[in-house]
Amino acid sequence: MMTTTPVPARRDLSEAPLLVAARGGAPAHVPVWFMRQAGRSLPEYRRLREGVPMLSACFDPELLAEITMQPVRRHGVDAAILFSDIVVPLRAAGVNIDIVAGTGPVVAEPVRSRDDVARLPELEPEQLRPVAEGVRLLVERLGRTPLIGFAGAPFTLASYLIEGGPSKHHARTKALMRSEPELWHALAATLARTTSTFLRAQLDAGVDAVQLFDSWAGALSEKDYREFVLPHSAAVLADVAEYGVPRIHFGVGTGELLPAMREAGADVVGVDWRLPLDEAARRLSVPGLPAPVVQGNLDPALLAASWPVVEDEVRRIVAEGRAAGGHILNLGHGVLPETDPEVLTRVVELAHSL
């Protein structure tokens, strides 16, 4: 991938509960953060974003830093997650992609041929300067709270490029993958380099952990995942191993893929709400390896239920998480926009009391 660069000095957060749990230690309390916690459900986020396109906000250092800080101030979570989007590195490299309200990422010219792959631009670290500057601002302002960087995994990025936008069935992606495997691997390798460059830019600027989102990998069989996806996700995770920070790997509907996702090089494996964490830990256990660390997995929809329901679910999930070598409490996917922020705050307070 990229040439080796000196690993930057980081804040000493050796006692931070999230980082302790991610490394299989015994944290002072159950650590908790929420996917998509920066924005969506927060009224202060909506005010700040008014009239500002999503991708414009992602390339504004002050704005992305402030949005990232908002849920830390409001909820007292154990980590900030960088405000960004999985298509940011594609946009930075020069791919004509945008986020359309109510739809999601839309690609002007889908990638479906060898020439299309050859025309994809390589991402250069300099193109990510605004993101790196935002990370540096956050490292200065977060105090003792860790900052998680993130990127989309090659398969999920490829699915957007091939389909031209969001897809329920990923039909074109699967067809290309199986019909033209050499073309698929060329595309996935290109995107692995892009993802690695994006993560390394965040790491060089000071993030304390990274999460690789393979949002749509659950659409695949284990056989196809191992053949067409695992090598490229593994390349990304291996390329950032030298930084020595926890690497989290997450996808939706990936219960049957969890062992392979750990094999890709993850230190922590995120689990969605479909599978109990004790069963996830069992599937992830490998003789001779340390007990697996899991992240998850409260159903985001249940945050709309009454508080007794939410409380029971949090207690159940924390109890099941004790079967693993470590547990970071999170949702099984992102915060829904209609979620009451007060419920998120109460979940954090409850987790810290258990």
SS3 (DSSP) at 154 = helix
**60-76 per-residue burial string, b: 16 or more CB within 10 A, e: under 16:** bbebbbbbbbbbbebbe
What does the block give as tokens for 289? 């390896």
Whether 75 and 39 have beta carbons less than 8 Å apart is answered as no
Is 45 designated active site? no
Instruction: Compute the distance between CA of residue 150 and CA of residue 240 in angstroms, rounded to an integer.
Output: 12
Instruction: Compute the distance between CA of residue 32 and CA of residue 329 in angstroms, rounded to an integer.
Output: 5
Alpha-helical regions (H) of the chain = 17-22, 43-49, 54-58, 61-75, 88-93, 114-119, 129-141, 154-163, 171-179, 181-205, 222-224, 230-239, 258-263, 277-284, 307-321, 341-353
Catalytic residue among 49, 91, 247, 262: 49
Catalytic residue among 60, 91, 112, 160: 160
Whether 68 and 82 have beta carbons less than 8 Å apart is answered as yes
Amino acid at position 4, single letter: T
Strands 97-100 and 104-107: antiparallel
Catalytic residue among 60, 78, 85, 299: 85
| 28 CA to centre of own chain | 24
Is 11 designated active site? no
Signed CA dihedral, 95, 139, 1, 231: sign only:
negative
Is 160 designated active site? yes
- The candidate with the shortest Cα–Cα distance to 293, out of 254, 253, 246, is 246
Amino acid at position 258, single letter: L
Whether 293 and 325 have beta carbons less than 8 Å apart is answered as yes
Catalytic residue among 36, 74, 112, 247: 36
Peptide bond just before 297 cis, omega within 30 deg? yes
121 secondary structure, DSSP code: P
| Catalytically active residues, by annotation | 36, 40, 49, 85, 160
